[in-house]
Amino acid sequence: MLSLNPYRIGFRTIKTAIGMALGIIIAKLLGLDNFASSAILVVLCIKHTKVHSLQAIVSRFVSCTLILILGSIIFSLLGQHAIVLGIIVLFFIPLTVVFKVQEGIVTSCVILLHVFNAPTIDFHLFINEIELLIVGLGIAFLMNLIMPSLDKNLKAYKKNIEDSFTKIFICFSDKCDDLQHPLDIHFSEIQLTIEKAKSLAFRDVKNHFGRNENSYYHYFDMREQQLDLIHRIEIMLENVEFKDELLTKLAQLFKEVAENVNSNDYTALRLHSLYEIRLQLDNLELPDSYASLKTRASLIQLLNELESYLQIKSDFGSLKTYSEAAS
């Protein structure tokens, strides 16, 4: 059975609709021929980010100006025939690749058809097409300056990931207290959330001119590194089958980490607690069986992984947004 996607009007759709209407209205008021084509320019240049929009506008302006000059010269020399039109397109498309403006091929073809259908190829036609480009591309640029802030969504992703980490460390603490406690952790879901968050943070970079990085992106990348270490810790805990004195100390440490997942101030304290446990290892009784020795070795390795987890957060420091860093 055919399923339909839910009907939804997004912000980009609204901008496109308003931009198309404005393009036609302004072009008509200026008395431009083919004024409806300004709407096509608006549609093709409305992008998800400001940077992509600017790149599209520059690409289309260059390619359209190029085809306007070529079309005017060649049609004037060889006549406005369909075969001549095909020859122009045949050589023009590779030319756009050379100049890296191939994104403007479709728009350029619209301009070329204007020249092809023009009763007379003269200076008035050239000016008319340039003005059409300025109106359409200009409105598209203004529309793309209006972009919704992504901070709210980025903060939501941040909280979601931190809550997931908190639950994981609470689960680790419970596991240390009771080896029969199940470790039901959905790493794939958390990984997917981090990947979506990084993608959104990268998109936020493209919504600001003159910015080439995003603190949120580095933050989510840091959490991705920590998630890999957490996964290793989970595997080690799953393999612990013998009750060890070290488990009680680890249970308390995991609980402290869970309570301070986002706190950079307390990371140094957690590292201090971890080093204290290492010093106390010398006073613990030596394992008296192969199983207990294997467990103790796993727990010592687990401490190393937890130290790496804490060190990554300590090296990162606190999350600072672009506005905070600039002030």
- Report the alpha-carbon distance of residue 32 to residue 118 in Å, rounded: 13
Round the average pLDDT of the chain to a whole number and report it.
83
- Report the alpha-carbon distance of residue 24 to residue 27 in Å, rounded: 5
* pLDDT recorded at residue 88: 92
Residue 321 is encoded by which pair of tokens?
Answer: 């947004």
pTM of the full predicted structure?
A: 0.66
259-314: per-residue pLDDT in tens?
888 766 567 778 888 888 888 777 777 777 777 777 778 888 888 999 898 888 88
Confidence band (pLDDT; 50, 70, 90) for 29? Answer: very high
Q: Where are the alpha helices (DSSP H) in 37-81?
A: 37-45, 50-78
* pLDDT recorded at residue 270: 81
194, pLDDT greater than 90? yes
Amino acid identity for residue 103 in this structure = E
Residue 113 is encoded by which pair of tokens?
Answer: 């058809």
* pLDDT recorded at residue 164: 93
212-246: per-residue pLDDT in tens?
456 788 889 999 999 999 999 998 888 777 777 78
- Report the alpha-carbon distance of residue 49 to residue 146 in Å, rounded: 10
171, pLDDT greater than 50? yes
* Contact yes or no for 32/132 (Cβ under 8 A): yes
Lowest mean pLDDT among 6-10, 103-107, 231-235, 319-323: 319-323
| Distance spanning both ends of the chain, measured CA to CA | 56
The rounded percent of the chain whose pLDDT value lies above 90 is 24
DSSP per position, 247-306: HHHHHHHHHHHHHTTT-STTHHHHHHHHHHHHHHGGGSPPP-SHHHHHHHHHHHHHHHHH
CB atoms within 10 A of CB 207: 20
- Report the alpha-carbon distance of residue 163 to residue 149 in Å, rounded: 23
Tallying the residues shown for the chain, one arrives at 327
205, pLDDT greater than 80? no
What integer is the mean pLDDT of 252-259?
Answer: 89
* pLDDT recorded at residue 209: 47
Lowest mean pLDDT among 76-85, 211-220, 223-232, 247-256: 211-220
* Contact yes or no for 54/162 (Cβ under 8 A): no
Confidence band (pLDDT; 50, 70, 90) for 7? Answer: low
Burial 118-132 (b: 16+ CB within 10 A, else e): beebeeebeebbebb
299-326: per-residue pLDDT in tens?
888 889 998 988 888 888 766 554 444 4
